[in-house]
Structure 1
Amino acid sequence: MVSPGILLVDKPAGLTSHDVVARARRAFGTRKVGHAGTLDPMATGLLVIGMEGATRLLTYVVGADKTYEATIRLGQTTGTDDADGEILVQAPTDAWATVTGEAVSSGVAALTGEISQVPSAVSAIKVDGRRAYDRVRAGEDVVLAARNVTVSRFEVIARRPGEGVLDLDVIVDCSSGTYIRALARDLGAALGVGGHLTGLRRTRVGPFEVADAVALDALADARTLTPADAASRILPALTVSAEEARDLRHGKRLSDQAARLEGALAAAIDEEGVLVGIVERRGADLKSAMNMPGGAP
């Protein structure tokens, strides 16, 4: 019997997030596996996977902020805003006259903070029940609605000129739902030379770091985070007594205990170190927002 837990995997390039989930299912012998936050096949890096009852925790991971290391190629526009797409436009030589270091810095600054971003058409966003990328592949013109996202850090750490292109190595801290491909596209458009993404690596999802992740070929020997450990990284931990744990598991409220929460949610952990579930305020009381099945540790 597989114990519930959270598994951190360093996804290699060339595989979908679903491929990684399928590998985890085979390695651990369970069908109940899910992930938080899709990575494109060309991308590498951190994939947060939940197994058994711990899949319920993924709800609280999906919306976490993230960190990416990426390479943006200025000078070329592709149909997918990344290196998997066909090059549609190559910037002419005279377009580079205004692409100074100051112009690049200004363009990056304009895409930092709270911004309105139109996601790439080749994305997993659903349009009338179908993935946008499926509609694009079927020959449809897809224009997605702009969304507000937060880019708290957009830093150029290296500039590497090439033949007719300029590669920028960048680090981005951003809110969930931010498309790094769209940042590459929009930076290139603002500079008048076009741009797309040639490399992407996710190094952080909320409190989880890729440095703690396991390689895909080492899944068989991987250790998972217990639900209690994972939940207490995601949310503040709240220790509850055996009686309180029993009440919460039975759907009862903890009367007049809302003041014990500093934020909106907390991970309720019993005196044995077992995750009871996620609790929230309800008036002056505390109640379960999610209960862990089977008293998983």
Structure 2
Amino acid sequence: MAKPPRNPASGILFIDKPQGITSHGVIARARASVGTRKIGHAGTLDPMATGLLVLGANNATRLLTYLVGLDKQYTATIRLGASSNTDDAEGELSTPAAAAALAAITDDAISAAVAKFTGPIMQRPSSVSAIKVDGKRAYTLARSGEEVVLAERAVTVSAFDVLEIERNEFIDVKVRVDCSSGTYIRALARDVGDALGVGGHLTVLRRTKVGPFTVETASTLGDDLEACLIAPAQVAGTLFESVELDDQLSFELSRGRQIPLGDVGTGPIAVVNPSGRLIGLAEVVDGRTRILSNFPADAVAVSQEGEPSDG
């Protein structure tokens, strides 16, 4: 039997990841700060990247399924004038493009190249992505010397805005990208550089939004992360319509019984009890309620609320 967590408190953590630490390093720090081993994530960031990392502790890990597929926003710097075998600054750079070739690239040409990769596009992920190939991560194969060419996939870049262009030895293009989950910003840097004929790679990457959640309100690794846990009901209520049931109906719904939820959408619907605790996510199909995911009470909540009878 698995040991119960030292701290059974459940919640979502929004963390502003600093540069130079892996996402799994952040998770290890969160486990120590919160006091539980049961912490999951809704998508990682590379060590060079900073910004919003979404973690879930204990029972709130069940909510991560609904967070991982949300649209993302990033700010980034694309360096034009050299490609990289990892599509970012951590890889081996190619021979720089000739100064004359860079000088010939106008601001309008950069904007046109960016526009080419805006909207629904087919994108070939970077060879050092976490996508699995025959059961192994692509980055593991690539770093062991194997040639990895991944299949293109459909993604949506809903906005790709040029914020600033700086010209020195290279051309640094600062951009903001709004995109679907699964979009690789490194691959956008590579493809924009290829479209302009001078190569390109990513030098700066910061995730600023995940769905409606922004990095401005995120915690840092220097904070008391246990105190920073956001209640699952608050997060679910931001994502979905909420319905409050009394204790008896909440108990029955959590046991899989059909409970009428009134005039609500098809789902997911966040169901909370009178104390504001998330009971579960549900959907209504043909007038019948079906639980998509239960959220059992933490030990502290059970002792405070008690449980209604099953009569």
Larger CA deviation: 170-179 vs 268-277? 268-277
Q: Note if contact 2:9-2:298 (Cα within 8 Å) is conserved in structure 1.
A: no
Q: Note if contact 1:124-1:133 (Cα within 8 Å) is conserved in structure 2.
A: yes
Q: Note if contact 2:51-2:215 (Cα within 8 Å) is conserved in structure 1.
A: yes
Q: How far apart, CA to CA, are the structure 2 residues paired with 1:223 and 1:107? A: 42
Q: Note if contact 2:20-2:47 (Cα within 8 Å) is conserved in structure 1.
A: yes
Q: CA deviation at 1:92?
A: 1.8
> Is 1:200 equivalent to 2:205 in the alignment?
yes
Alignment CA distance shift 1:172-1:263 (3 Å): farther
SS in 2 for 1:188: helix
Alignment CA distance shift 1:59-1:246 (3 Å): same
Q: Note if contact 1:78-1:89 (Cα within 8 Å) is conserved in structure 2.
A: no
Q: How far apart, CA to CA, are the structure 1 residues paired with 2:257 and 2:298? A: 16
Q: How far apart, CA to CA, are the structure 2 residues paired with 1:188 and 1:263? A: 44
Q: How far apart, CA to CA, are the structure 2 residues paired with 1:98 and 1:149? A: 31
Q: CA deviation at 1:272?
A: 2.1
Q: How far apart, CA to CA, are the structure 2 residues paired with 1:187 and 1:273? A: 48
Pick one of 211, 219, 231 that aligns with 2:216. Answer: 211
The alignment's TM-score, normalised by the length of structure 1, stands at: 0.94
> Is 1:175 equivalent to 2:185 in the alignment?
no
SS in 2 for 1:248: helix
For structure 2, the residue ranges without an aligned partner over 5 or more in a row are 1-6, 302-311
Q: Percent identity?
A: 51
> Is 1:238 equivalent to 2:234 in the alignment?
no
Q: How does 1:103-114 map to 2 (within 5 A)?
A: 103-114=109-120
Q: Note if contact 1:214-1:222 (Cα within 8 Å) is conserved in structure 2.
A: no
1:24-66 CA-to-partner distances (Å, cap 9, x unmatched) read 1111111111111110000001111100100110000000011
Q: Note if contact 1:2-1:28 (Cα within 8 Å) is conserved in structure 2.
A: no
Pick one of 55, 58, 67 that aligns with 1:61. Answer: 67
Q: CA deviation at 1:184?
A: 0.4
Q: Note if contact 1:248-1:254 (Cα within 8 Å) is conserved in structure 2.
A: yes
Q: How far apart, CA to CA, are the structure 1 residues paired with 2:9 and 2:298? A: 11
Q: CA deviation at 1:187?
A: 0.4
Q: How far apart, CA to CA, are the structure 1 residues paired with 2:221 and 2:45? A: 14
Which 4+ residue blocks in structure 1 deviate beyond 4 angstroms? none
Q: Note if contact 1:17-1:39 (Cα within 8 Å) is conserved in structure 2.
A: yes
Q: How far apart, CA to CA, are the structure 1 residues paired with 2:163 and 2:289? A: 46
Pick one of 76, 81, 86 that aligns with 1:75. Answer: 81
Aligned to 2:54: 48
When you count strand as a share of all residues, which structure comes out higher? 1
Larger CA deviation: 48-57 vs 267-276? 267-276
Q: How far apart, CA to CA, are the structure 2 residues paired with 1:150 and 1:263? A: 25
Aligned to 2:152: 146
Q: CA deviation at 1:138?
A: 1.3
The alignment's TM-score, normalised by the length of structure 2, stands at: 0.90
Q: CA deviation at 1:220?
A: 4.8
